[in-house]
Amino acid sequence: MKQASNNEIDLLLRALGRRGQSSARDATRSDGDNGNISNHLDADELSSYAEGVVTGPARERYTQHLAECDRCRGIVITLSQSAGATVRHDVVKHQTGSSFWSTLAVIFSPAVLRYAVPALVVTAMIGIGLLVLRQRDGTSLVARNEGVAPAPSVESKVLPPTQPSSGFADVQPSPTAPSGISVYDSETKNRQVLADDKTSATKAPSEVGSIAKSGSDQPPAVAEDAGAAQPKYAPEPQAPPAEPGFSN
Partner 1 sequence: MDGAGGLLGRASDNHSLTSEALLPRVRAAVNKYILTDDPQASADAILEFIKGLQADDLCLIVACEQGDQTAWNELVERFSATVRSAARSASSNEEGAEDLAQSIWAELYGLRVREDGKPAGKLAYYSGRGSLAGWLRAVVAQLAVDQHRKQSRLVQTEEDADFDRIIREGHDDSAWSGHGAQTDPELEISKKFAGAEMQKALSKSIAALPAEDRLLVKLYYFDGLRLREAGAVLGVHEATASRRLTRIHGEVRQQVEKTLIEEHGWTKSETQRAFSEVALQLDADIEPMLADGSVLLKKENEIAG
Helix pair angle (43-50, 70-97), 10° resolution: 50
Binding of residue 99 to partner 1 (CB under 8 A): no
Binding of residue 93 to partner 1 (CB under 8 A): no
Binder among 63, 102, 135, 214 for partner 1 (CB under 8 A): 63
Binder among 37, 39, 51, 183 for partner 1 (CB under 8 A): 51
Near partner 1 by CB under 8 A, which window of 1-9, 153-161, 165-173, 202-210? 1-9
Binder among 81, 102, 109, 140 for partner 1 (CB under 8 A): 81
Binding of residue 37 to partner 1 (CB under 8 A): no
Smallest gap from Cβ 3 to partner 1, in A, equals 9
Listed residue (82, 77, 85, 72) closest to 43, CA to CA: 72
Smallest gap from Cβ 17 to partner 1, in A, equals 3
Binding of residue 211 to partner 1 (CB under 8 A): no
**Cβ closer to partner 1: 33 or 187?**
33
**Cβ closer to partner 1: 8 or 146?**
8
Q: Which of residues 168-207 bind partner 1 (CB under 8 A)?
A: none
Binder among 38, 39, 50, 222 for partner 1 (CB under 8 A): 50
**Cβ closer to partner 1: 76 or 183?**
76
3-state SS, one letter per residue, for the chain: CHHHHHHHHHHHHHHHHHHHHHHHHHHHHHCCCCCCCCCCCCHHHHHHHHCCCCCHHHHHHHHHHHHHCHHHHHHHHHHHHHHHHHHHHHHHHHHHHCHHHHHHHHHCCHHHHHHHHHHHHHHHHHHHHHHHHHHHHHHHHHHHHHHCCCCCCCCCCCCCCCCCCCCCCCCCCCCCCCCCCCCCCHHHHHHHHHHHHHHHHHHHHHHHHHHHHHCCCCCHHHHHHHHHHCCCCCCCCCCCCCCCCCCC
Smallest gap from Cβ 76 to partner 1, in A, equals 6
Binding of residue 5 to partner 1 (CB under 8 A): yes
Binder among 37, 73, 200, 224 for partner 1 (CB under 8 A): 73
Distance, in Å, from the CA atom of 51 to the CA atom of 89, rounded to the nearest integer, reads 15
Binding of residue 76 to partner 1 (CB under 8 A): yes
Distance, in Å, from the CA atom of 34 to the CA atom of 26, rounded to the nearest integer, reads 8
Using CB under 8 A as the criterion, which residues of the chain lie in contact with partner 1 when the complex forms? 2, 5-26, 28-29, 32, 42-44, 46-48, 50-54, 56-58, 60-61, 63-64, 66-67, 70-71, 73-84, 86
